[in-house]
Amino acid sequence: MRAIYKRELRSYAVSMTGAIAIAVALLIMGLMFRNYNLSTYHLLTFSYTLNNSSLVFYIVVPILSMRVFAEERKLKTDQLLLTAPVSVGQIVMGKYLALITVFAIPCVITGFYPLIMLRFGKETIKWDYSALLAYFLMGCAYLAIGMFISSTTENVIIAAILSILFVFVTQMISNTYTLMSASNFAALIFLVILAVLAGFLVYFMTKNYWAAMITISGLSAAWLITYAIKASWFSGKTEAVMKVLDFATHFNDFANGSFTIPNLLYFISAGAIGIILTIQSVLKRRWS
């Protein structure tokens, strides 16, 4: 694992991607800090800066994670890693730790900003750092998902686009709650669409046409029956489902001073899911 970790860090260093990612993150966060905390708005909480720095993820996550596995597959160096006496878990963890090490650098540097604000008063300092922690954890979750996306394709461009899409959905989804019709029927339609998406996912994972069809028809049938029996069950379900993907709201809850364990766990489990999916996807490829 150490060998892989060191090699990854080295490759971020020599290929400049690490430097670019760090520079972009520092630039955006610095600009936001100036805007929200120092000059334009003069807000007292640092979390506004972080809240408005989600742009960082759109750039940093694809830059850092798109090549992690996609490139190995293209170069066939995955043959070296997977036939070496290390487990897939170690390979994935070595790469992941390198990813979050690079991301930690701008976060640590940004960690000095709240100290600059000390002259405005120190009431908010606890919030500031819990927000920074949340921001870092959100980044770690994104990088884990980005790594998973990278492990599913040989094409780094596709990997980059998919991870930008994922950041987009998880950042923007809270804006669509009001657009969504609150009717039970709309929720039903939404869940059926999800069933179809689940079917595609099953097909992608197993390459089994029938398993996918069974997933889609099974879930849809279950929901139709539920709807026929008790339509009220669907009220609020759209939002509940969408909340699962709502990184932005979870971050805001966290950043606005409610340092809650569930919010913390939310990001940690999102990261864990990304890692587990990556391991599964690498293992699965051997069976294809």
Position 80 contacts other proteins (CB under 8 A)? yes
**Residue 112 burial by CB count (10 A; 0-12/13-18/19+): exposed, middle or buried?**
exposed
* Cβ atoms within 10 Å of 167's Cβ, excluding its own: 24
Position 82 contacts other proteins (CB under 8 A)? yes
Helices vs. strands in the chain: H and E counts, helices first: 15, 0
| Closest distance to other proteins from the beta carbon of 112 (Å) | 32
CA distance 148 to 246: 19
Position 122 contacts other proteins (CB under 8 A)? no
| Closest distance to other proteins from the beta carbon of 87 (Å) | 6
Structure-token match 């730790």, residue found: 97
Stretch that binds other proteins, among 46-54, 78-86, 145-153, 188-196 (CB under 8 A): 78-86
Position 6 contacts other proteins (CB under 8 A)? yes
Give first-to-last CA distance, the chain, whole Å: 25
Q: What's the token pair of residue 17?
A: 């991607």
Among 86, 105, 125, 231, which residue interacts with other proteins (rule: CB under 8 A)? 86
Position 16 contacts other proteins (CB under 8 A)? no
Closest CA to 270 of 105, 156, 139: 139
Position 125 contacts other proteins (CB under 8 A)? no
| Closest distance to other proteins from the beta carbon of 78 (Å) | 8
Residue 155 main-chain phi, psi, to 5 deg: -100, 115
CA distance 20 to 63: 8
Position 256 contacts other proteins (CB under 8 A)? no
Among 23, 27, 75, 222, which residue interacts with other proteins (rule: CB under 8 A)? 75
Among 85, 119, 178, 229, which residue interacts with other proteins (rule: CB under 8 A)? 85
Site string for other proteins, 257-286 (x = CB under 8 A): -----------------------------x
Among 23, 87, 176, 204, which residue interacts with other proteins (rule: CB under 8 A)? 87
| Closest distance to other proteins from the beta carbon of 275 (Å) | 20
Among 39, 76, 112, 123, which residue interacts with other proteins (rule: CB under 8 A)? 76
Q: Are 146 and 61 in contact (CB under 8 A)?
A: yes
Cα separations in angstroms, 287 against 54, 114, 207, 277: 38, 50, 11, 15
Position 3 contacts other proteins (CB under 8 A)? yes
| Closest distance to other proteins from the beta carbon of 82 (Å) | 5
Cα separations in angstroms, 42 against 37, 56, 123: 5, 22, 15
Position 230 contacts other proteins (CB under 8 A)? no
Q: Are 24 and 18 in contact (CB under 8 A)?
A: no
Q: Are 21 and 11 in contact (CB under 8 A)?
A: no
Stretch that binds other proteins, among 20-28, 82-90, 99-107, 231-239 (CB under 8 A): 82-90
6 vs 42, beta carbon nearer other proteins: 6
Which residues of this chain interact with other proteins, rule CB under 8 A?
2-4, 6-7, 10-11, 14-15, 75-87, 286-287
